[in-house]
Amino acid sequence: MYVAVKGGEKAIDNAHALMRTQRRGDTAIAELSVDQIRQQLPLAVDRVMNEGSVYDPELAALALKQASGDAVEAIFLLRAYRTTLPRFGYSEPLDTEQMQIERRISGTFKDLPGGQILGSTYDYTHRLLDFSLLAAGEAEVAPEEANALSEALAAGNSCPRVLELLNREGLIEQSRESGQDDQVPRDLTREPVNYPAERAVRLQNLIRGDEGFLLSLSYASMRGYGDSHPFSGEMRTGRVSVELVPEELGFPIEVGEVLLTESEMVNQFHGSKDLPPQFTRGYGIAFGRAERKAMSVALVERALRAEELGEEVLYPTQDQEFVLSHTDCVSANGFVSHLKLPHYVDFQSELEMIRRLRKEQGARTESTTQKEADA
């Protein structure tokens, strides 16, 4: 009804009040604290930090609480907050070789320097609902030896990356031309993406990208819609220190540490006239314990290198513009959900057009029928 679209002001206030009530649920049940979310739903927190592009578990947990657990809404909240933060500086490149490792898995070598470290994982759990969690029982305590091991690891020395081992033999491509400096990457939150986008921009885009979308794209690329035949060279999770060079000091100081998951994929590449056959790389990294995300990024990242590696671009997974324009869950959600906004005017325009066309067609058919009858 026409009247229903009026009084928008009041309707919005009421809708928001209803939403807050619904979010709180039954008030007889204790309210969830931000600390509880941070401690007990850490994987959800990690996803929000990744796609929200802010390393702050507390704010990510707050966003999850405010969003009733909707990851996309929580990511949006964190992004909108992020925009308003001033830039104090840019960190030095992180050195993941110096990671304090809590988990490290290689799919390419049975054993290797630093060893395989299973750490904490869902991988080998049988997915049977644990009904003991229904009852509020005491938390299970990890055995002494597991704790002791993980502490020892965390205090351990640097651990070379698997791909570096291959690199020493020259079996894998250089991640950059020798003698070439690291290029200062563009910041895609400050500058629009231009196509073709350089690798650093592509990686930024993917790391902020929707986990589900990237997972599906990497799945597609492995199923033949893309030339991805990878091995998981290494996947490692742990803490890495973040360093900054303050203008007035001129040397790096540690400003904190972040928990990261890094994935390096090894892909076959047949070489060319100028290059002997060697493996190629796909790289992914993510905040927190986010293996699915880091691996998906590495797979899609590799698929998107098709053009620079001289491979034929045949599938959407290899198409920069297709992939990079559609990774962002905040944009995707906004555009899909904008269909909920009124489109009365556009629809009215289409109605008018279709009625007119039908009327004209009707007139044409009638006159044809008349002519036939006359004949």
Partner 1 sequence: MSTATGYNFAYLDEQSKRMIRRAILKGVAIPGYQVPFGGREMPLPHGWGTGGMQVTASVIGETDKLKVIDQGADDTTNAVSIRRFFAHTAGVETTEQTADATLIQTRHRIPERPLQADQILIYQVPIPEPLRFIEPRESETRKMHALSEYGAMQVKLYEDVARFGHIATSYDYPVMVNNRYMMDPSPIPKFDNPKMSMMPALQLFGAGFEKRIYAVPPFTQVESLDFDDHPFEVQSWDEACAICGSDHSFLDEVITDDNGSKMFVCSDTDYCRERVEQGFVGTAADLPIADLSIAEVETN
User: How many whole angstroms separate alpha carbon 355 and alpha carbon 362?
Assistant: 10
CB of 157 or CB of 194, closer to partner 1 = 194
* Binding residues for partner 1 restricted to 267-326, rule: CB under 8 A: 321-322, 325
Angle CA 158–159–164, to nearest 5: 125
Site for partner 1 contains 345 (CB under 8 A):
yes
Place of tokens 């750490």: 119
User: How big is the site for partner 1, counted in residues (CB under 8 A)?
Assistant: 52
Q: Which of residues 122, 124, 195, 251 is near partner 1 by CB under 8 A? A: 195
CB of 250 or CB of 342, closer to partner 1 = 342
Burial class (CB in 10 A: 0-12, 13-18, 19+), 322: middle
CB atoms within 10 A of CB 89: 9
Q: Which of residues 47, 65, 79, 292 is near partner 1 by CB under 8 A? A: 79
Question: Nearest-CA neighbor of 117 among 150, 71, 78?
Answer: 150
For residue 40 the two structure tokens come to 């007990």
How near is the Cβ of 310 to partner 1 at its closest, in Å? 18
CB atoms within 10 A of CB 164: 14
Site for partner 1 contains 333 (CB under 8 A):
yes
Site for partner 1 contains 334 (CB under 8 A):
yes
User: How many whole angstroms separate alpha carbon 268 and alpha carbon 281?
Assistant: 9
Query: Up-side HSE of residue 252: CA atoms within 13 Å toward CB?
Result: 11
Site for partner 1 contains 328 (CB under 8 A):
yes
Q: Which of residues 93, 143, 179, 192 is near partner 1 by CB under 8 A? A: 192
* Binding residues for partner 1 restricted to 59-78, rule: CB under 8 A: 76
What are the residues binding partner 1 (CB under 8 A)?
A: 1-3, 5-12, 76, 79-80, 82-84, 86, 189-192, 194-196, 321-322, 325, 328, 330-331, 333-338, 341-346, 348-353, 356-357, 360
